[in-house]
């Protein structure tokens, strides 16, 4: 009889239906099992064949447990383990398939129309068509809803223009009308057309690198082309194509005139330096006129180099030119320097205007300091007697023929204060300087009022200061020069002499 050792360690005998008297199960036949059946000695002895019952025709062939077929060595516990392992594998595969089906797709940040926009707007002066060499500002503005990683602005060639960028690019956060937040890009470019005609500003291109679904994507945003007409000058004189006068289109032009010392105190053989600074708003330094010609009789002029620079401001470029002359009088007489006018085109009012380098006078003035007065020359007895006789005769003239008419003039410090106040262009400050001069020389007030031109300018100054701001401001540098000149009139009355109560003596 064959004894099979099971997985649980139990020893059992096969059922009778397994063929107890049949051939023994050989070693190695049940491969793959953890335990092998061991045949006992004498297993090959012949056994009497038992009588088997006839099979039931309705059941079919018996199972191996019932004696039908080949016996299996797989135990109950190993069978359960195989079933559990196969079930767990199927469950794992089903779970993976279900997770793949139910997992959401990654969000894709697609760029929609209107997410990236770039516009270029020309800022015309006074809303009018520009003339050649007149500045026009191009405002470049971009609005981007996507995050920007890298950016580059590709500018068109601008073949018919001179251009300059004003400052650096500006990035900021902005709120859109629908409440969304976006990035704003701003750049300002000043262009100057070379000549008249109909031109087109080609599109600007902003090359952007954006983050699209976790990957870098390069997008080119283009602006629309802009028609850019440039008008031709139709006035009979001047204009961009005329050689004289110099064409200077600007929003404003200012001139400052400084001297190393008061030119009226310069003596024969001395040298004084004159510096004139010309500033034009809305113009580059290359568009400023050359050094003006300063020639007059009796002086020697040595012109220095011209310094030009362009200052970049948020409102546009400001051009500055500095002209320098060294002036040396060659004759002992008073030398007048005429005013120099510089015409310019006002781009705001679209009219021609003039700026002026003021007229000045070299020599003929009083000394600025008391130390400049020459000491009195000591003479002999004859000179002293002559001086006494002259003084006696002058006294008789004053007593017998009335007050002599001399030349009255403001002192040098008062004149310099007037000129400094005039250069500021502030009428209130200039009026304060006039009051200070009158306090120092009160007798000049009547002499100024006696001259119709000076009186009219002083009245216009009073209206500009005290009239509420509507009255025009007179030409302050011209008024300062007028008040600085000498005035002929009677000498002031001595402090110890009283005027008659019933009129002149």
Q: Where are the domains of the chain?
A: 116-230, 249-362, 393-490
The answer to whether residues 190 and 319 touch, using CB atoms and an 8 Å cutoff, is no
Contact 270, 329 (CB under 8 A): yes
Q: Left (φ > 0), alpha (ψ -120 to 50) or beta: where does 392 sit?
A: alpha
Residue 437, class by beta-carbon neighbours within 10 Å (0-12 exposed, 13-18 middle, 19+ buried)? buried
Task: Give pLDDT, residue 402.
Answer: 42
Token pair 């023994």 in the structure block, residue: 24
Q: Report the phi/psi class of residue 42: left, alpha or beta, with left for phi > 0 and alpha for psi in -120 to 50.
A: left
Stretch (H or E) spanning 383: helix 381-401
| 355 and 344 Cβ atoms separated by less than 8 Å | yes
Burial 162-183 (b: 16+ CB within 10 A, else e): eeeebeeeeeeeeeeeeeeebb
Euclidean distance between CA atoms 321 and 279, whole angstroms? 7
- Token look-up 């600025």 returns 368
Q: Name the 3-class secondary structure at 412.
A: helix
- The region that residue 498 occupies, defined by phi over 0 for left and psi between -120 and 50 for alpha, beta otherwise, is beta
Distance CA 420, CA 424 (A): 7
CB 203 within 8 A of CB 225: yes
Phi-psi bin for 69: left (phi > 0), alpha (psi -120 to 50), beta? left
Q: Which residues pair with 281 in a beta bridge?
A: 252, 318
Per-residue tokens: 360: 């000045």
Which distant-in-sequence residues (6+ apart) come within 8 Å of 432 by Cβ?
Answer: 421
CATH of domain 116-230: 2.60.40.740
Helices 476-484 and 412-424 sit at what angle, rounded to 10 degrees? 170
**pLDDT of 429:** 85
**pLDDT computed for residue 153 by the predictor:** 95
Cis peptide preceding 318, ω within 30 of 0: no
The sign one gets for the Cα dihedral 54, 57, 59, 65 is positive
pTM (predicted TM-score): 0.51
Task: Measure the CA–CA gap between 93 and 91, rounded to whole angstroms.
Answer: 6
Q: What is the number of other CB atoms lying within 10 angstroms of the CB of residue 210?
A: 21
Full pLDDT tens readout for the chain, 505 residues: 444 334 344 444 444 444 444 444 444 444 444 444 444 344 444 455 445 455 554 455 555 445 554 544 444 455 455 445 555 677 777 777 766 555 544 444 567 778 899 999 999 988 899 999 999 999 999 999 988 999 999 999 998 999 988 889 999 999 888 888 899 999 999 999 999 999 999 999 999 998 877 788 899 999 999 999 999 999 888 889 888 889 999 999 999 999 999 999 999 889 999 999 999 999 989 899 999 998 888 889 999 999 999 998 877 889 999 999 999 998 888 899 999 999 999 999 999 999 999 999 998 765 444 444 445 455 556 656 666 666 665 555 544 444 444 567 788 888 888 888 888 888 888 888 888 888 777 778 778 877 888 888 888 888 888 776 677 888 888 888 888 887 766 555 444 444 444 444 4
User: What angle (nearest 5°) sits at the alpha carbon of residue 314, between those of residues 158 and 288?
Assistant: 65
What DSSP assignment string belongs to 425-479? T-HHHHHHHHHHHHHH-TTHHHHHHHSHHHHHHHHHHHHHHHS-S-SPP--HHHH
Which pLDDT belongs to residue 6? Answer: 41
């Amino acid at each position: 009889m064959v004894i099979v050792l099971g997985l649980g360690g139990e020893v059992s005998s096969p059922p009778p239906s397994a063929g107890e008297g049949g051939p023994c199960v050989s070693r190695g036949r049940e491969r793959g099992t953890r335990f092998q059946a061991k045949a006992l000695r004498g297993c090959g002895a012949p056994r009497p064949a038992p009588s088997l019952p006839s099979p039931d025709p309705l059941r079919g062939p018996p199972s191996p447990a019932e004696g039908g077929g080949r016996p299996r060595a797989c135990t109950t516990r190993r069978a359960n383990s195989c079933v559990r392992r196969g079930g767990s594998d199927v469950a794992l595969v089903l779970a993976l398939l279900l997770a793949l089906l139910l997992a959401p797709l990654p969000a894709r940040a697609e760029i929609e129309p209107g997410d990236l926009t770039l516009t270029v707007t020309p800022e015309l002066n006074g809303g009018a068509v520009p003339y050649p060499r007149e500045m026009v500002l191009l405002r470049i503005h971009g609005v981007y809803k996507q995050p920007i990683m890298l950016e580059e602005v590709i500018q068109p060639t601008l073949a018919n223009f001179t251009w300059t960028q004003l400052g650096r690019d500006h990035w900021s956060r902005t709120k859109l009308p629908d409440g969304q937040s976006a990035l704003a890009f701003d750049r300002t470019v000043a262009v100057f057309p070379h000549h008249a005609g109909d031109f087109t500003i080609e599109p600007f291109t902003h090359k952007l690198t954006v983050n699209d679904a976790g990957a870098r994507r390069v997008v080119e945003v283009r602006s629309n082309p802009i028609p850019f007409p440039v008008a031709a000058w139709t006035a009979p004189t001047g204009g961009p194509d005329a050689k004289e006068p110099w064409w200077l289109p600007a929003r404003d032009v200012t001139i400052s005139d400084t001297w190393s010392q008061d030119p009226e105190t310069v003596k024969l053989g001395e040298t004084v330096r004159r510096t004139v600074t010309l500033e034009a708003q809305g113009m580059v330094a290359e568009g400023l006129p050359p050094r003006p010609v300063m020639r007059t009789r009796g002086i020697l002029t040595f012109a220095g180099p011209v310094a030009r620079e362009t200052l970049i401001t948020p409102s546009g470029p400001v051009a500055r030119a500095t002209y320098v002359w060294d002036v040396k009088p060659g004759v002992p007489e008073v030398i007048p320097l005429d005013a120099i006018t510089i015409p310019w085109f006002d781009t705001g009012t679209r009219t021609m205007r003039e700026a002026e380098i003021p007229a000045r006078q070299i020599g003929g003035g009083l000394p600025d300091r008391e130390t400049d007065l020459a000491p009195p020359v000591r003479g002999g007895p004859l000179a002293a007697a002559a001086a006494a006789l002259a003084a006696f005769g002058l006294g008789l003239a004053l007593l017998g023929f009335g007050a002599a008419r001399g030349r009255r003039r403001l002192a040098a410090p008062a004149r310099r204060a007037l000129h400094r106040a005039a250069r500021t262009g502030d009428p209130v400050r200039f009026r304060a300087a006039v009051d200070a001069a009158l306090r120092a020389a009160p007798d000049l007030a009547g002499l100024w009022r006696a001259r119709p031109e000076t009186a009219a300018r002083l009245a216009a100054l009073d209206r500009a200061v005290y009239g509420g701001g509507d009255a025009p401001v007179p030409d302050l540098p011209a008024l300062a020069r007028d008040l600085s000149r000498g005035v002929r009139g009677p000498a002031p009355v001595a402090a110890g002499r009283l005027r008659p109560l019933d009129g002149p003596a």
